[in-house]
Chain A
């Protein structure tokens, strides 16, 4: 399975580490809402189909990626930086580097 890292291009799955469900929102560090923390840590979407996941390019640039991948066919439909997936817009300088 190949995942196209925005920095490094298409790389084999063995270069990546899976970090699971990318649909979770971590509570604010100061939050004392135990239920929200429990939900964040333990309750996962686990779809048989399109999934939004976090993968780390641990064998390469070490960036965390938000990947949309079908868990039944393994087909990947989108890859982006995890840090851009949130509220924060991409800085200009974060555009890459090496192209595929």
Chain B
């Protein structure tokens, strides 16, 4: 049996042996052990190294508040750092290693940092590292040189580089009552609420619900406390209206009684079971919450209180009673309150020798006296521990007479050999969630602790959380809280009986013993009592400044152990009471939460993919796809051996000379319907739409309220009261929101209905001189000649049985038609068009070719409508109706929007006939070495097969006036410089004759 395993006792399963590895060495433990308890059982005392000084550290606690024993778990190529060993349930095959030490835990070279102790006090880095003002290390260079080493030395565990194959799941839950904490108070609350018929969720962060009852020596209802809780949990689980969530940490209390919780579904196994996620992220919406989160013990602050072998008394009690582990053979106890006496009893029962109980109080309760007598060993009241010794493990303690009222030490110190020192500074209710959902906590002088604040959300507290540490009180409060949470009236219920030990929960109001040597307040961050006093000396006296200056409370334990002792020392330095110093606000998460759980199903798939109905066809036919927002669109359909440029040149030529087909399904489409639809369109577009005849379409421009261009598109009039509006792909959502706002908030009297139909209509644009012939070959039910289907006209027909709507409009500048059909027919209609077009040499074309043709025509897209340009900047003055007001019509005339020097749309021709990319700038004078005085930038570029050269569109200051002049392209980022000519943006067929044929 392991050297420190108690002969009997504990709630572990001694029949199941678990094999695991720590720092390369093999150990065994039992089912129910944590890594901490199993290692302690094996006699391990060294668990980690502290952050700054790399001091040897043992395990301080038995729970989530552990600051020292942080380990990294390795599972295949995945590693998880910073896991508290006290929370890690062991399993067969567990491989864990200690952190922040080199080359080993036993011999860590960075322990040399301790020599710099006085130099490395709180805030030392603000006072140095500025470096020289002149020379090669001036500016920030000296600091960055030093920082390089600081960064390498800093950090706790190391994150992996491999993607985590685990699955993370999201759960949404609703309940009448959420009970947080399944100790005696929480269990009674759950019972009371469940008995009222409420839907109850009971969550506890431990694997075994029951809280402190699991390691208590009390009897409840005649049974061992741990048996009583096990029985109660069984009963609750059997109820249909109760959901029990073990291993579930409720960590965030958000608005409207919405709480976040993390369920560690599979961390206690080598791998999740089939279908199991590793973690579940719960969003729980509760009508009412019962906070029964108990209390956390505080350490005492005295020199040498960080030596491995020094731990919290309550933790030792838990190790003995729950895990059957002896943290030491010769145990000493140092306390300012009665609860440590319970621990003494438990350790004695488990087989330990209590060598001394050192109580800083002179007067102690009879119950405590009785226990002291029972456990034997020295009982030194009015004494304090002033030091420890032993290198990497405790060998002995030094105690001295101590006056708790004055802090004075007197008499001769005495050395007491011990291999384990249990300390207790009293208990702080775990009020973190309450603080997230409440005002400021309330200080209790009696308990020397912060009690829960006034609630700002619907929660009620019970038990240790309230400062009611006695089990009987916890049971009563829990029951009452459960009832209150359901709205049921309070009753005098039949509560389970408890045999109380009569100990007094009130501590002496002393948390620090001042003597020679480093006394630690924040164990992980190596913040000492002197650091707190240094902060005070330098004026960092508010609790927030104290925290930020010393980093106290900013480690992974989030100050659970260190907050109150730190405040106590600062209060003492200020000559104030603790509540006057204040308390930091608690923020989510209560305990660290995996990033993976918060991403849940978005891990690996952060956003949906939007695909058009023709997507598969594109991919199968050689399209190179790229992302346009969430959409996937074809860039080019490259033939083997073609470059991108060659592909789009070929596609463009084919369209301009023959016929091509492009998928335009991603355009935003909004059905605008109703008796006032035409009036509405007149208000939102700059041009007239009420005059648009049925079966005709019109290009439209929309401005924002502030007069800048918002979006352009075409709107088709399908009927007197029936319009189909198209928008650019990128702005579909924005335009919809804009229109809905106007109809719902500004003009609710208008009888207009909007429906988003982007996903309902598939769209294919067929363009080129032969496009009409292709349509004629496959469209039935309507003629498509120039008379039946004039420019901007609309007809309805069929293509191979699929109803289609065809509008003759052109983005490319060629004779062109947009063929719309129901999305379900999209792929089929596309294939029929391609087949009908085959004799005419039809090609599919992508966004590059589409872009090329629109650049040649000078049409604007989102690259020019970039949110900073006006209609006039883009030469769309002709679209601004003078007959009616429209959105933006007054604002667009403001001085800033009509001023000289605005960027205006122009064409650019590079005189060296090489590409000028989008994003290149334009300058009047070229200074390659020190580019300056930009007068604009290129918005889009292409090789124009129609014109036989590279062209571009650009926004240039006073562009209109610069037509016909020369300038330079200045693109230092891509090292492209050269002379250009500024021309009109209508490169090709400015009269539009080709579309009107």
Contact = CB atoms under 8 A, between A and B. Distances in A.
Contacts of B745: 19, 54, 64, 82-83
Contacts of A10: 256
Contact of A64 (B255, B744, B891): B744
A68 interface: no
Interface in B722-755: 737, 740-741, 744-746, 748-749
A29 B740 contact: no
Interface in A11-56: 12-13, 17, 19, 26, 29-34, 37-38, 40-41, 54, 56
B348 interface: no
A37 B894 CA distance: 11
Contact of B285 (A2, A30, A54, A63): A2
B438 to A, nearest CB: 11
B885 interface: yes
B178 to A, nearest CB: 15
B255 A37 contact: no
Given A17-B737, A19-B741, A29-B885, A34 B890 contact: yes
B584 interface: no
Size band of the interface chain A makes with B: 20 to 34
Interface residues of B, number: 24
B254 interface: yes
Contacts of A92: none
A58 B706 CA distance: 23
Contacts of B254: 1
B705 interface: yes
A83 B748 contact: yes
Contact of B456 (A40, A73, A86): A73
B255 A74 contact: yes
Nearest to A74: B255
A93 interface: no
Contacts of B946: none
B258 interface: yes
Contacts of B255: 1-2, 13, 74
Given A26-B746, A82-B745, A1 B890 contact: no
Contacts of B744: 56, 63-64, 82-83
Contacts of B885: 29-31
A83 B885 CA distance: 23
A23 B67 CA distance: 51
A41 B705 contact: yes
Given A41-B891, A56-B740, A29 B748 contact: no
B683 interface: yes
Contact of B741 (A31, A33, A40, A56): A56
A63 B891 CA distance: 28
A34 B705 CA distance: 12
B741 A64 contact: yes
Interface string B243-260: 000000000001110100
Contact of A62 (B705, B740, B746): B740
Interface centre among B258, B456, B745, B748 (most CB of A within 10 A): B745
A64 B746 CA distance: 11
Given A1-B256, A1-B258, A86-B748, A32 B741 contact: no
Contacts of A13: 255
A74 B456 CA distance: 11
B682 to A, nearest CB: 10
A13 B255 CA distance: 10
Contacts of A95: none
29 contacts: A1-B254, A1-B258, A2-B255, A2-B285, A13-B255, A17-B737, A26-B746, A29-B885, A29-B886, A30-B885, A31-B885, A31-B890, A32-B890, A34-B893, A37-B705, A41-B891, A54-B741, A56-B741, A56-B744, A58-B737, A62-B740, A64-B740, A64-B741, A64-B745, A73-B456, A74-B255, A74-B256, A83-B748, A86-B748
Given A58-B737, A83-B748, 19 more contacts: A1-B254, A1-B255, A1-B256, A2-B285, A10-B256, A17-B737, A19-B745, A30-B885, A31-B890, A34-B890, A34-B893, A37-B705, A41-B705, A41-B706, A54-B741, A54-B745, A56-B740, A74-B256, A88-B749
Q: Nearest 9 CB-CB pairs, A to B?
A: A83-B748, A1-B255, A2-B256, A64-B744, A82-B745, A74-B255, A29-B885, A64-B745, A30-B885
